[in-house]
Amino acid sequence: MQSSKSQSKRRDGLVAVFIGATSGIGLGTLKQFAKQSSSPQIYIAGCSESAAASILKELESLNPKGTYVFQETEITLLKNVDKVCEEIKSKEEKVDLLFMSPAYITLGERNDTIEGIDISYALTYYTRLRFTYNLLPLLNASSAPRVISILGGGLESEIDLQDLEIRNNFKAQKAMKYSTTQTTLAFEELANSNPSITFIHKYPGFVNTGAIGRFLGSQKGLFAKPATFFKWFLLPIVNLMAVSVDEAGERGLFLATSARYPPRNPTSGGVEATVLPKGAEVAEDIEGSGVYILGPSDDSKRFTPALAALRLQGASKIVWECTLSVFDRAVGASG
C-alpha cells in the first residue's frame, strides 16, 4: 500500500488539533479543514461547551465522515493542557496539524492564574508552546506534520532576555510583543531538533470577526445615531480592507496543507503528499529551518532587525530554556 499513496488516500484519516477555534480565524480554518478532508479526526480544546455544541453540529453537517471531539477545559492552565494532550496521546498514533489561535484582548494589568502565568500571556504563548511541546512525539509520527500559530509573525521586536516572564512593568500589550518574538525564536529552536515538522508563525492582518459591528449595533442613547451611521456607511468601507472570517479560514487551510511549506527534512511520503500547483514555488523560510514567518498576504518575513540582533545573542536557546523552566514551575505548582 505504501507506494500507492495518492493525495486523497493520504488525506484520509488526518488528525488535527485546534486550540482557540470557537471563534474567529481558528473557527474559520476548522470549518474549512473539516469540509475539505475526507475523514478527519479533529480535536478542539476550548472553554465554552455552549459554543461547542453548535460548532460540533455544523462540523457534522459539513462532513459527516469526520470525527469531532470537543475537550472543554480552562486552557490557560498548563496542567489542563497536559490532560488534553494525554487524552489525545491515548487515542492517536500521530498528529498531522496543530493549529493555534487563542487570545483574549485586555488592556489590563497582570492577572495571574494559580500557576503564576498571566492569562493573556498564557493564551498567546505558554499554552500554545505547551501544546506544541507535548505533541512533538505525535507530530514526529506524521508524514507531513505542521504547527501553526496565528499571532504576529514579522512583528518581532526587542525583548529583555533577562525578564522574559515580564515581572517588571507588565502590560498586556508588552506581553503580546513578547509572545510574538518568543514564538518565532522558540519555533526555530524546536525546528532544530524536530526537522520533519513545519512551523508557521503567521500575522493575519485585520480580520473582520464581526465584533465591531456587533459592538456598534449594541450602542444606545446618545451614541446610537453616530454608531448606526458608522455601522451602515463607514464600517463597510473599513471592512473592504479587512479579510472575512471565511477567507481567513481558506488561508488557514492553505497554510495547513500546501506544499509551499515543507519542513527542513521532509520524511519520505511527506513531500509527494501535497503537490505544488504548476508555477508555484516553495515559500522562503528562515535559512532552511522549516520555520516560516508570514505576513497578512502570506508574504515571507525573515529579517526584522530586532530578530537579527536577538539571534546574535543566542536568544532562541535562552527563550526555550526559560519557557521550559516556566513549564516546570507551573505544572509543579498546580501539582
Ligand X SMILES: *[C@@H]1O[C@H](CO)[C@@H](O)[C@H](O)[C@H]1NC(C)=O
Ligand Y SMILES: NC(=O)c1ccc[n+]([C@@H]2O[C@H](COP(=O)([O-])OP(=O)(O)OC[C@H]3O[C@@H](n4cnc5c(N)ncnc54)[C@H](OP(=O)(O)O)[C@@H]3O)[C@@H](O)[C@H]2O)c1
Should residue 137 be labelled a site residue for ligand X when binding is judged by CB under 6 A? Answer: yes
Q: By CB under 6 A, which span of 83-91, 136-144, 198-206, 269-277 interacts with ligand X?
A: 136-144
Task: Using the structure block, give the residue that is written with the C-alpha cell 496543507.
Answer: 257
Based on CB atoms, which residue is closest to ligand Y, 76 or 181?
A: 76
With CA atoms as reference, report the closest residue to 117 among 157, 175, 48. Answer: 175
| Least spacing, CB of residue 149 vs ligand Y, in Å | 8
Should residue 136 be labelled a site residue for ligand X when binding is judged by CB under 6 A? Answer: yes
- Contact mark string toward ligand X, 189..208, x via CB under 6 A: ----xxxx------------
Q: Of these partners, ligand Y, ligand X, none, which one is at the site of residue 149 (CB under 5 to 8 Å by kind)? A: none
Strand partners, 149: 100, 201
Burial of 239 (0-12, 13-18, 19+ CB in 10 A): middle
Q: By CB under 6 A, which span of 199-207, 251-259, 280-288, 310-318 interacts with ligand Y?
A: 199-207
Q: How far apart are CA 306 and CA 159, in angstroms?
A: 9
Based on CB atoms, which residue is closest to ligand Y, 1 or 241?
A: 241
Inter-residue contact 38 to 5 (CB < 8 Å):
no
Based on CB atoms, which residue is closest to ligand X, 140 or 244?
A: 140
| Least spacing, CB of residue 174 vs ligand X, in Å | 16
With CA atoms as reference, report the closest residue to 124 among 162, 76, 91. Answer: 76
Q: How far apart are CA 91 and CA 4, in angstroms?
A: 26
Inter-residue contact 133 to 19 (CB < 8 Å):
no
Based on CB atoms, which residue is closest to ligand X, 104 or 215?
A: 104
Q: Which of residues 5-24 bind ligand Y (CB under 6 A)?
A: 20-24
Based on CB atoms, which residue is closest to ligand X, 59 or 190?
A: 190
Should residue 140 be labelled a site residue for ligand X when binding is judged by CB under 6 A? Answer: yes
Q: b/e string for 211-235 if b means 16 or more Cβ within 10 A?
A: eebeebeeeeeeeeeebeebbeeeb
Task: Please give the radius of gyration of the chain, using alpha carbons only, rounded to the nearest integer.
Answer: 20
Q: Which residues bind ligand Y (CB under 6 A)?
A: 20-26, 46-48, 51, 75-76, 101-104, 119, 123-124, 150-151, 204, 206-207, 209
Q: Which residues bind ligand X (CB under 6 A)?
A: 108, 111, 119, 136-137, 140, 193-196
